[in-house]
């Protein structure tokens, strides 16, 4: 590689990496915990449910309960399962009956407990799991700014990955095996950055591509909508099969009784290893009432196998059917594969644990890249003012990034002791505590102290998480294991393991002289 190309790749890699470093760290740190989103939300609520994507609900009883509370006649109702928990998501459109009271014409989204049919709004159901999940794409920043910010960070990360590979291409094998912890500081950071960067390369590339796609696809799709569909967004969604057929509301009450449970069960029996993930009712209680039952095959049977059946309720006739085995389309694969590989939900706990480890490794790669940048700019031939400025920038970076560990552990404890924490209180605990810690470390002006304090305090709080759970709920991790409460058991043991590793790391760190 000639010097000109090397310099282009080097500066592109450095600039793109430094600009996005803090945002990228937050994305990967919060995203790594989001692999266990379902376990965290069940741990918070002291619930444990079957580990399946399938909706487990008595539809007849649930709809009867909702009809008494909301009056369902003439509504379109969608029941889905956004995560593995005891609740399902229910979206009710306003009734199509023009003579109905105004209140019935309002659409609503809420969660429904599958056991006692208790309803709760999104705000009432907000949890630490939701906070961490949404933090990894900056949803707390008003839409669409947060989404676009995370999308462009992912895009710049892709540039950093590609240019990093090009930089190391000629020595990609030899550099992978080099690690010199006893050499000077810059060499140590460089070796760690290179080796761990190569270990996590496929993982990082996948998440850079899928993250950018999910968050800024609107900017990609918008020109196509204008050019190919003449601004008709609904037509595009219909061709992409994001919207279902709309059946006319006849405004005549259905006289015959109907059994939704029976039709859902009938659909499930069509194919073995088929899980029902979405149920849509159109024109509830009307003579033209229709039921769409949708699901997918287990991932170990077929990676993408989406199937559905549409029934006309008046006579129970099956009017449309899609076979998940024989009728999988290219469109199904494109839409589904990116989601599956991004959420890592197709390989069980083993895949998610590996993904978590690779996510944390990526966080270390980001930090080591920042430290390489700093050590390269602390040479004696650089002006003192510039050296102090560079040190201050990195001090702020480290304060923001490293304090995420203890504040996340503290938030777990707070969400258990004060359950249920409201959204505003959870924000105050997490973001308020994060801000206080970051300011403290910036004022302290000691990067070594920041690193060691975060690791040790995070470890201590991490050990206290299962203790807090045991005291508050009685679900000590050995009891959870014996009672087959796998999700609760997993989070407790997960924190014991993570705290042990970080504590071991903290006590084997050699203190370095702080850069002032």
pLDDT digits (tens, 9 = 90+) for 241-299: 667 778 999 999 998 899 999 999 999 999 999 999 999 999 999 999 999 999 999 98
> What pLDDT does 274 receive?
95
Q: Is the pLDDT of residue 170 over 70?
A: no
Q: What whole-number distance in Å separates Cα of residue 486 and Cα of residue 50?
A: 9
Task: Report the SS3 class of residue 257.
Answer: coil
Concatenated DSSP letters of 137-184: TTTTSPTTHHHHHHHHHHHHHHHHHHHHHHHHGGGHHHHHT---TTS-
Q: What is the mean pLDDT of residues 436-448?
A: 95
User: 51-79 pLDDT, tens per residue?
Assistant: 899 999 999 999 999 999 999 999 999 99
CA dist 427 and 140 (Å) reads 10
Q: What is the pLDDT of residue 4?
A: 73
Listed in sequence order, the residues at least 6 apart from 463 whose beta carbon sits closer than 8 Å to its beta carbon are 495, 496, 499
């Amino acid at each position: 590689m000639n010097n000109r190309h090397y310099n282009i790749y080097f500066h592109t890699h450095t600039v793109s990496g430094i600009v996005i470093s803090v945002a990228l760290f937050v994305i990967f740190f919060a995203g790594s915990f989001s692999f266990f989103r379902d376990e965290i939300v069940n741990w918070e609520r002291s619930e444990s449910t079957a580990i399946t994507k399938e909706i487990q609900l008595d539809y007849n009883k649930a709809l009867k309960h909702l009809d008494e509370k909301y009056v369902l006649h003439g509504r379109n109702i969608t029941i889905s399962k956004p995560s593995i928990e005891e609740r399902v998501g229910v979206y009710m459109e306003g009734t199509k009956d023009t003579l109905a009271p105004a209140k019935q014409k309002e659409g609503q989204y809420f969660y429904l407990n599958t056991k006692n049919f208790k309803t709760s709004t999104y705000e009432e159901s907000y949890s630490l799991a939701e906070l961490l999940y949404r933090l990894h794409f900056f949803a707390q920043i008003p839409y669409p700014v947060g989404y676009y910010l995370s999308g462009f960070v992912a895009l710049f990360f892709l540039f950093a990955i590609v240019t990093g590979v090009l930089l190391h291409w000629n020595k990609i094998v030899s550099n992978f095996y080099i690690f010199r912890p006893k050499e000077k500081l810059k060499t140590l950071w460089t070796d760690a950055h290179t080796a761990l960067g190569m270990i996590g390369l496929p993982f990082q590339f996948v998440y850079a591509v899928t993250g950018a796609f999910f968050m800024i696809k609107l900017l990609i799709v918008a020109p196509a909508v204008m050019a190919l569909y003449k601004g008709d967004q609904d037509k595009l969604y219909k061709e992409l099969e994001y919207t279902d057929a709309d059946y006319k509301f006849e405004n005549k009450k259905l006289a015959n009784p109907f059994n939704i449970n029976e039709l859902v069960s009938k659909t499930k029996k069509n194919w073995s290893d088929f899980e029902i993930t979405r149920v849509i009712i159109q024109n509830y209680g009307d003579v033209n009432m229709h039921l769409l039952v949708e699901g997918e095959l287990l991932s170990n049977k077929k990676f993408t196998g989406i199937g559905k059946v549409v029934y006309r309720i008046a006579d129970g006739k099956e009017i449309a059917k899609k076979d998940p085995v024989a009728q999988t389309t290219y469109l199904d694969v494109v839409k589904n594969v990116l989601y599956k590989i991004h959420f890592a939900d197709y390989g069980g706990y083993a895949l998610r644990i590996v993904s978590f480890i690779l996510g944390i490794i990526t966080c270390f790669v980001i930090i080591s890249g920042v430290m390489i940048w700093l050590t390269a700019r602390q040479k004696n031939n650089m002006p003192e003012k510039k050296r102090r400025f560079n040190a201050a920038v990195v001090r702020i970076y480290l304060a923001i990034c490293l304090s995420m560990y203890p504040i996340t552990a503290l938030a777990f404890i707070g969400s258990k002791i004060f359950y249920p924490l409201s959204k505003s209180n959870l924000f105050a605990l997490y973001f308020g505590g994060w801000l206080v810690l970051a300011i403290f470390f910036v004022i302290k002006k000691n990067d070594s102290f920041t690193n060691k304090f975060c690791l040790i305090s995070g470890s201590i709080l991490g050990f206290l998480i299962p203790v807090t759970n045991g005291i508050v709920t009685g679900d000590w991790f050995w009891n959870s294991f014996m009672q087959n409460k796998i999700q609760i058991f997993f989070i407790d043991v997960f924190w014991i393991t993570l705290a042990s590793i970080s504590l071991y790391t903290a006590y084997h760190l050699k203190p370095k002289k702080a850069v002032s």
